């Protein structure tokens, strides 16, 4: 089956067809990573920066070569940063290396569940927007935090579904629904916690504009097949949202016409 | 002078170096970004940015990320 989605989605001044942003970490091998990214149909791939020795880079950077060959748009993250200063410095380094003005801003506030620090996140976002960045903040599903980030200029918000790498799906659909309702004009991405295609469908049916995931594909028994599953799930969820679901009813209502029912059951 | 480079202490006979000189000395090539004492250094400023004893450098390169 070929999924055709002619609708173009715009985020941060860029146009894409796929609403899936996919991570490049944790795959069983670089080859499986490349095949999974292709199979997912994703056009946006998240990448990171880490300390590396000169000797490890002697023959070039194999990972970076593979990503470049995929012809995707990269979205650098600031994973592993625990202070606003670290995140700001990492974002600036990423802008120079990757030559892009957007960043997935992560400032971790708790090591147990890798929960973002909302205070440092707002602080770093403010500085980076002033520096000309387009900031995509990885955040908790807090309505007031969403408001603060929107107030300082974010046009995309990325609330978590559940903690990074937990695969627990949407912990609090109500919070996500309220954020969607309160910010109809912002791009909203569920980032982190997606485990199954049905989690992605649920988020898309809530009206989210896209999904960012990594572990759900990379740690699946068959990553390439799971990448395809998410491609279809996100498309299906989006169509379902756009189509508008019927109202739930308490009582059954026959879908087959009752007029002309033969002699078995006559209700008068 | 002693420098902390990517978390490791290294000793250099020079008393001072620019970022450009240090990267050449250590045989770093393209595809890196540099922070000196946790502050980003623009590529265009490597030749004029001095490193002194006790400074900390972070030299980063792309890796996989989520």
For A138-264, where are the alpha helices, taking DSSP H only? 143-151, 173-182, 197-205, 215-218, 223-243
A247's CB contacts (< 8 A; 6+ apart) are none
Nearest to B33 among A61, A96, A215 (CB): A96
Ramachandran angles phi, psi of A177, nearest 5°: -65, -40
Q: For B8, which DSSP code?
A: E
Show residues of chain A in contact with B29, CB under 8 Å.
Answer: 54, 57
Inter-chain touch A64–B62, beta carbons under 8 Å: yes
Show residues of chain B in contact with A76, CB under 8 Å.
Answer: 65
What does the pLDDT look like over A245-255, one tens digit per residue?
999 999 998 89
Q: For A247, which DSSP code?
A: P
Inter-chain touch B65–A23, beta carbons under 8 Å: yes
Average pLDDT of the residues of chain A: 94
Inter-chain touch B26–A33, beta carbons under 8 Å: no
Handedness of CA B44, A56, A88, A153 (dihedral sign): positive
What does the pLDDT look like over A47-85, one tens digit per residue?
999 998 988 888 889 999 999 999 999 999 999 999 999
What does the pLDDT look like over B12-66, one tens digit per residue?
999 999 999 999 999 998 899 999 999 999 999 999 999 999 999 999 999 999 9
Instruction: Label the pairing between strands A73-76 and A44-51.
Output: parallel
Q: CB distance from A3 to chain B under 8 Å?
A: no
Q: CB distance from A108 to chain B under 8 Å?
A: no
Distance between CA A168 and CA A189 in Å, rounded? 16
Q: What is the ipTM of this complex?
A: 0.94
Q: Tokens in use for A71?
A: 């012809």
Distance between CA A215 and CA A195 in Å, rounded? 8
Inter-chain touch B61–A92, beta carbons under 8 Å: no
Whose structure tokens read 């970490």? A25
What does the pLDDT look like over A102-156, one tens digit per residue?
999 999 999 999 999 999 999 999 999 999 999 999 999 999 999 999 999 999 9
Ramachandran angles phi, psi of B30, nearest 5°: -85, 175
Whole-model pTM above 0.95? no
Give A53 to chain B, closest Cα distance, Å. Answer: 8
């Amino acid at each position: 089956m070929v999924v055709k989605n002619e609708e173009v989605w715009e985020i941060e001044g860029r146009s894409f067809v796929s609403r899936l942003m996919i991570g490049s970490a944790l795959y069983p091998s670089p080859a499986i990573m490349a095949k999974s990214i292709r199979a997912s149909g994703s056009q946006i791939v998240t990448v990171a920066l880490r300390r590396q020795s000169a000797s490890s880079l002697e023959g070039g950077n194999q990972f970076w070569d593979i990503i470049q060959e995929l012809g995707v748009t990269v979205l650098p993250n600031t994973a592993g940063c625990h202070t606003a200063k670290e995140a700001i410095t990492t974002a600036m380094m990423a802008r120079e290396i990757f030559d892009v003005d957007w960043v997935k801003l992560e400032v971790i506030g708790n090591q147990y569940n890798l929960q973002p620090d909302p205070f440092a996140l707002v602080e770093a976002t403010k500085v980076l927007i002033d520096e000309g960045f387009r900031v995509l903040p990885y955040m908790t599903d807090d309505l007031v935090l969403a408001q603060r980030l929107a107030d300082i200029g974010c046009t995309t918000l990325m609330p978590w579904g559940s903690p990074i790498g937990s695969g627990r799906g949407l912990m609090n659909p109500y919070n996500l629904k309220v954020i969607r309702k309160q910010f109809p004009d912002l791009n909203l991405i569920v980032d982190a916690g997606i485990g199954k295609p049905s989690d992605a469908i649920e988020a898309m049916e809530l009206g989210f504009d896209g999904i960012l995931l990594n572990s759900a594909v990379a740690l699946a028994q068959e990553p390439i097949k799971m990448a395809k599953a998410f491609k279809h799930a996100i498309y299906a969820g989006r169509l379902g949202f756009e189509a508008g679901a019927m109202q739930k009813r308490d009582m059954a209502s026959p879908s087959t016409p009752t007029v002309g029912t033969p002699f078995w059951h006559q209700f008068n | 002078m002693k420098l902390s480079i990517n978390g490791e202490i290294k000793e250099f006979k020079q008393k001072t170096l620019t970022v450009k000189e240090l990267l050449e000395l250590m045989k770093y090539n393209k595809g890196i970004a540099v922070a000196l004492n946790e502050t980003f250094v623009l590529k265009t400023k490597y030749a004029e940015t001095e490193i002194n004893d006790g400074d900390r450098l972070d030299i980063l390169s792309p890796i996989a990320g989520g």
